Chains A and B, each alone.
Chain A
Amino acid sequence: MSDMDMRVIVGLEMEGRLNTSDDDMLANIQSAIRRQHPQVRQQDPQDDRICLVGSGPSLKDTEGELVQLIREGAKLVTVNGAYHWCLQKNLKPSAQIVIDARAANARFVEPSVPGCIYILASQCHPRLWDAVEGRENVWIFHTINADNAAKTMLDEFYMGHWHGVVGGTTVATRAMVVLRMLGYLRFDLFGIDSCVMGDQHHIVPQPENDHDKFYQLKVGPTAHPELSRIFTVTGWHCKQLEDMLQFMRVNGDQILCNVHGDGLIAYAVNTGADLAIDDV
């Protein structure tokens, strides 16, 4: 598929960049793969419905829907700070997924929850791997593709037997790819908004993003400009929106996905938005 074919919203030209240096990333991977954890691998299709919970601000409006789905038997999978929000609400995650390589993210795997599966990217910082040492279920996956500098290292260590989990720049989109690899096909997304709501970029404190620059983004479907809406976003919100819509374009016929809340991603999915006008 060409770059033009993959463009999901006209007017958005985004390029993702890592928040950690290549050297740090390689050092993290070098350390992580020697910690004796099993690799995430392709599994048979699973019937379970997955509630994938990020820490976007719409969570406060959708808590009831989330609780209802969990009561009906859906599995709760959290990413980053959503883990803490769910624990505060007495909701027990079945799995927690983290990909960020910075040391401060070790807080996202504390406290230990019995029975929870920790699915961590090999690029995660050693402090995070230290935190999960000795826990029953810890799995490793690799957020890299064939032309990544870590490929040689992984090829050598795993004798060529590893799978790259590609797709997107944020944990939300990578989490969907990991869960798809694990066989899950039915997703309900909560707190994955890709926008600021009120003055909140996350529902839990995330000081790493307190100094992000905000933009006003007008988004809507070309055929129905009257449906356009203006969202307050950061750069990574825009990239995540593009990543998520690309993921759905590529994988949409393999999964069922409901996006809950009133965030940008929910709006874009529900209206088929395809046009963005930056900086209104």
Chain B
Amino acid sequence: MNISKAETEIYTELWESVPAYRRVSPGERYAELFHSIVNDSGATVLDAGCGAGQGILALSQLGYRMAGVDLVRTTLVAGAPQVPIICQSLWNDLKPAVYLISVEAPDIFRPDSVDYVYSCDVLEHLPEQFTMLAIQRMLEVAQKGVFISLMQQQEIYGSWVGRRLHLTVKPFIWWRDSMREIAEVVEARDVMANGIFYLRAK
């Protein structure tokens, strides 16, 4: 079984058949926090796991110049700006995606990197063996930093597609210490159900 293909099928079904899933938006919830940490309006940001684009919309309104990458392309929420979005799994090399984004919007994006990667409630959806690889991929294209939020408990929408969606449910310490192996963990906040991290390349 091709893991990327199987995951793509599950999330395609979910986006198409469960409207409520579209309304869940950690990307929107953490936009202000991201801004308070980096305070860098005008910077380029790749929303890794952008979903229906609520995070793209929220960060655009704060002045960030956005692009997205996700396993599945879905309809963006009303009001979300039309920005470059590339379909691929996050554990694959993100440099080709960043290059394609720069081709689509050459006045905004550099061909080899973005300023920040912003990834909200995405990593826990990945198979455990790919989580740190995905973070490494983000660090490789983020010139300034990587913002990550993730859930530390199971979710409820998987029942609609017959499988739990959070494939990596780990405690805060596991995430923090794993990230410390591959990155400089500038911020780590345990906010109970969620963990919030801000990383820089070592």
Contact = CB atoms under 8 A, between A and B. Distances in A.
B161 interface: no
A161 interface: yes
B83 to A, nearest CB: 26
B185 A36 contact: yes
A36 B33 contact: no
A60 interface: no
Interface string B180-200: 000001011111111000000
Contacts of B171: 38
Nearest to A137: B173
A36 B191 contact: no
Interface string A15-45: 0000000000000000000101111010000
Nearest to B193: A161
A146 interface: no
Contacts of A162: 191-192
A159 B191 contact: yes
Contacts of B34: none
Interface in A128-170: 136-137, 157-159, 161-162
Contact of A39 (B33, B187, B192): B192
Contacts of A157: 189
Contact of B192 (A136, A137, A161): A161
Given A158-B189, A161-B191, A38 B33 contact: no
Contacts of B173: 38, 136-137
Contacts of A137: 173
- Give the contact-size bracket for chain B: 10 to 19
B137 interface: no
B116 interface: no
A36 B176 contact: yes
A159 B194 CA distance: 10
A271 to B, nearest CB: 42
B64 interface: no
B189 A41 contact: no
A223 B185 CA distance: 62
B172 interface: yes
Contacts of A39: 190, 192
Nearest to B185: A36
Contacts of B192: 39, 41, 158, 161-162
Interface string A185-217: 000000000000000000000000000000000
Nearest to A37: B190
B191 A38 contact: no
Nearest to A41: B192
Contacts of B176: 36, 38
Contacts of B172: 38
Interface in B162-177: 171-173, 176
B188 A158 contact: no
Nearest to B171: A38
Given A38-B176, A158-B190, A161-B194, 6 more contacts: A38-B172, A38-B190, A41-B192, A136-B173, A159-B33, A162-B192
8 contacts: A37-B190, A38-B173, A39-B190, A41-B192, A159-B191, A161-B192, A161-B193, A162-B191
